[in-house]
Structures are given as structure tokens and as C-alpha cells.
Chain A
Amino acid sequence: MTTAELMSIVQQLASGMSASLLIFVLTLLFSMPLGLIVAFGRMSKWGIGKFKPLQLLAKIYISVLRGTPLMLQLLVVYFGPYYVFGISMPRTYRFVAVVLGFSINYAAYFAEIYRSGIESIPVGQYEAASVLGYSKSQTFFKIVFPQMIKRIIPPVTNETITLVKDTAMAFVLNYTEMFTLAKQIAAAQTTIVPLFVAGLFYFIFNGIVAIVMEKVEKRLDYYR
């Protein structure tokens, strides 16, 4: 293989990378807040006796999305509207389905990470805030949330890195991101090089994620 051929592969994959990056960014953007809402539901004590509808709903959500393959979820989100409801979606729905599928899946994981962080905050923090007159939402946003963020950085980094690699899963919906492209080139040119290059791209991408998260962690190091 000539250098020119290699450069061409790198160039093509780099353009595919932007699609992967878009999935990655949008998924984080939607799944992180959605996860917080699910976590609130999961921790909700609202209800009558042992029947807590919000908690039950969140539990079902989490168990279904954690308990079934992401690939299957992507297919359901994409084909569901047509095969279940008979609605034919526009062409652009392919990309929407990818982001939607990833987001609802990752929200389930983020919800449990948030919950672990929130529940690890000592009850004394809530009591101190209550006596000082903080409302429930002030207590959460001023006292609990910032401390939670610090505690959940390592598992969130884990999830984020997994997401980088999971973007390759978009191929099941024929959405052309980097990995799909690499496979196509590999098949067309009967060479394994594109796959190696793709691997290198993921590795570098994750290196950047790790460095950024470490920076965030360092920034929160000012207290213990």
C-alpha cells in the first residue's frame, strides 16, 4: 500500500469521524439530563404505601434498557414507528433514531451513577441545609449536586469512553459513521488497514476524553 492510499483512507475515516463525534456529543447532551430525571424518579418516594409509581416506572425503564442489547434498542427505535404504529418516517429519521437510541440507553446508566452519587452524600449535609432554611431545590442544587459531580467523575468517565466505542453500533441502522466507513473501505479494497486506522482513531479519541475528564477531576480537587 502506498502512502497516498493510506492518506486517502485516513482522510475518508476522518470525515466519518465527524459523524461519530456528532453522535457522541448529542448523546451526552441528551442522556446526561435525561439520566438525572430518571434518577429522580428512581429515588422518588411519592405514592401510597408500597406503591410508588414514579419509582416503579424508573425501575422498569432502567431494567429494560440495561437488560437488552443496545443494538436491539437501536433497531426498535428505528423500525418501531413503522412496524408497530404504521407510521413511515422521513429519511432524516435514521440519524434521529441513532441519537435517540443511544440517549435513552445511556440515560439508564447515568441515572444509576447519579443515584449512587446522590445517595453517598451524608444525611448531615441535608440536615445542616434544612436548619439554615435552604429549600429542597436549593439544597439539591447548591449542596448535593456539586458534591455528587465530584464523586461520580470516575464512573462517568467509564461510560463516556464506552460511548465513544459504542458509536460504531450506528452501523446497524446503516448510518455512515467512521466504523461503517472503515468496513466499507476494507471490503472494497480487500485490506485490513482501514480497520487498524479506525482503531487508532477510537484510541486517540478516548485518550482525549480521558485527558479532559482528568482535568475536570483535578479542577474539583480543591476540596475533599
Chain B
Amino acid sequence: MKVLEINHCNKSFGDNEVLKDISLSVSEGQVVSIIGPSGSGKSTLLRCATLLETMDGGDLIYLGDYATKMDAEGKAQYGTPAELKAIKKHFGLVFQNFNLFPHYSVMRNITEAPILIGKRNKAEVYAEARVLLEKMGLADKEDAYPYQLSGGQQQRVSIARALAMKPKILFFDEPTSALDPELTGEILKVIKDLAAEHMTMVIVTHEMSFARDVSNHIIFMDGGVIVEEGNPEDVINHPQMERTKAFLGRFQQ
């Protein structure tokens, strides 16, 4: 079963066509990295997939449930608010800037959504949150507030917050871009551990060697289209398209 399917996604901001006929699918346990220059549309694609932006045209399908369905003209027809709310349970998103809730402790950041939105048992959610914090190496931080944490710690809390909702697929939008190189490593390790547990993930990143090491599939985007995709070795080490070669040229030196 495909966890995520996007068919013929189109998106424009005014006259600016940001995504042109993008199709991709992600299977269970797959780790897909999306690379490409700034302005290539990769973040917009992620924002469309997580319902933060609306697609103009195309299908967006999670586990067979349609968030949007193309009509006869290819226009995206979104589901009802209730349908979209149900679909939001399928995915989680880790932001570049963490976007933790500053007025909540680490624990409340992680547990409020499962309790409030997921209507789950409080004790159970807390117990799971402690396990997650342990896993993130933050067992002693449950009462801390976001401002008391380093960027890397904040990002690990935000990963725990996303995981607490038990998503079927986790998106990362440049999860290390706001961190210095030293802190980048700790986040990449967390993502690698998740990959080892067969978490289904889609990662937008500028970390080429990380993308190569952690993913099963790499998508190179430029100018709102998928220029090249395939297994990581091929795309990163032996790109076929000129545009991909040019983009990766600096990395390969």
C-alpha cells in the first residue's frame, strides 16, 4: 500500500508556476529525500502535501484516502474539513524553525495534541512521551521550556512532538538548516535511527551525503519539476541530467 501518492500536482502563486505536474509516491518504510536548489519548489511541495498550502490541481492521497481529487479539468477538489482532519492524523511534519509552542513545557508540547486532538488516555500519552524523550536523549528535559534548549534539542523535541501523534509518514522540511554543523549531526542521527526502524519519511534537505546515506529514493527538483529521481547512488554519484550534474558538481568535488 502506498502511504502517500501525489498525482499531477500543480501550484502557482499568481503568475509564478511553482509546481508543474509533479507526481510521486511513497511506500511504507520508504525514505525519500527531495533535493534541489532554493526556489525549486521542494518546500512548496512539502507544504502542499501537509495541507499548509492548497494545490491548484492534482490528487493528494494518504493510504487510499483522498485529501484532494482531480475533477474532469484536473483541478484539485479538497475533501470536507472533517475528511481533512482525519487525513491529518496520517502525517507529521518537522519544521526548519522547529515551531515549538514557547509557552508549553517540553512535555506539554509533545502530549497536548495526542490528548486534545487524538482524545487519548493521558497517562498512556505521558508514558509514551517519556519513551520518546528517552530515545531523543532528552529524558531530563521534560519540564524545560523551549527557550532553555539548544536548537538541536528543540528540533529533537519537535520530532518527538510529531512522533507522539503516531503518524504513518513523517515529513522533514530542511530539519537542519537552522542549526550549526555541530548540532546538525545529532538531528541526522535521530533521522537515521528512525529510518532503521522503518519509519516512512520524506525529507527535504541540503545535506547531500546524508540524503544519500539515509534514503532509498532521491528526487532532484528544479524549476518546479522533478528533473531526475532514482536510487541514491545513481542520482548523487552518477547523475544523468545536465541540471543535476551542475547542481551536484560542487558537492562532488
**Chain A residues within 8 Å of B, Cβ to Cβ:** 122, 124-125, 127-128, 130-135, 138, 142-143, 146-147, 150, 222-224
In the bound complex, what is the Cα–Cα distance between A150 and B116 (angstroms)? 23
Find out whether the CB atom of A130 lies under 8 angstroms from the CB atom of B51: yes
Find out whether the CB atom of B146 lies under 8 angstroms from the CB atom of A131: no
Q: CB within 8 A of B97: which of A124, A146, A147?
A: A124
Find out whether the CB atom of A133 lies under 8 angstroms from the CB atom of B99: no
In the bound complex, what is the Cα–Cα distance between A142 and B118 (angstroms)? 15
Find out whether the CB atom of A133 lies under 8 angstroms from the CB atom of B165: yes
In the bound complex, what is the Cα–Cα distance between A147 and B99 (angstroms)? 13
Q: CB within 8 A of B101: which of A128, A130, A138?
A: A128
Query: Nearest Cβ in chain A — how far from B71, in angstroms?
Result: 24
Interface core residue of A130, A138, A223 (most chain B CB under 10 Å): A223
Partner-contacting stretch, out of B30-38, B85-93, B228-236: B85-93
Find out whether the CB atom of B102 lies under 8 angstroms from the CB atom of A147: yes
Main secondary structure of the interface of A (DSSP, over half): helix
Query: Nearest Cβ in chain B — how far from A152, in angstroms?
Result: 14
Find out whether the CB atom of B92 lies under 8 angstroms from the CB atom of A131: yes
In the bound complex, what is the Cα–Cα distance between A124 and B146 (angstroms)? 15
- Which residues in B have their C-beta under 8 angstroms from that of A142? 112, 116
Using an 8 Å CB-CB cutoff, how does the interface string of B71-96 with A read, 1 for contact, 0 for none?
00000000000000100110111010
**Chain B residues within 8 Å of A, Cβ to Cβ:** 50-52, 85, 88-89, 91-93, 95, 97, 99-103, 112-113, 116-118, 145-147, 158, 161-162, 165
In the bound complex, what is the Cα–Cα distance between A87 and B88 (angstroms)? 56
In the bound complex, what is the Cα–Cα distance between A143 and B161 (angstroms)? 15
- Which residues in B have their C-beta under 8 angstroms from that of A143? 101
Q: List 20 A-B contacts (CB under 8 A).
A: A122-B99, A124-B97, A125-B101, A127-B52, A130-B51, A130-B52, A130-B88, A131-B50, A131-B52, A132-B92, A132-B117, A132-B161, A132-B165, A133-B88, A133-B118, A143-B101, A146-B103, A147-B103, A223-B102, A224-B147
Q: Considering only CB atoms, which chain B residue lies closest to A122 in the complex?
A: B99
Query: Nearest Cβ in chain B — how far from A45, in angstroms?
Result: 15
- Which residues in A have their C-beta under 8 angstroms from that of B101? 125, 128, 143
Q: Considering only CB atoms, which chain A residue lies closest to B88 in the complex?
A: A133
Interface core residue of B51, B117, B162 (most chain A CB under 10 Å): B117
Query: Nearest Cβ in chain A — how far from B90, in angstroms?
Result: 10
Find out whether the CB atom of B99 lies under 8 angstroms from the CB atom of A125: yes
Q: Considering only CB atoms, which chain B residue lies closest to A132 in the complex?
A: B113
In the bound complex, what is the Cα–Cα distance between A135 and B97 (angstroms)? 22
- Which residues in B have their C-beta under 8 angstroms from that of A135? 85
Q: What 20 new A-B contacts, CB under 8 Å, besides A124-B99, A223-B103?
A: A122-B99, A124-B95, A127-B52, A127-B95, A128-B99, A128-B101, A130-B88, A131-B50, A131-B88, A131-B162, A132-B92, A133-B89, A133-B165, A134-B117, A135-B85, A138-B117, A147-B103, A222-B145, A223-B145, A224-B145
- Which residues in B have their C-beta under 8 angstroms from that of A125? 99, 101
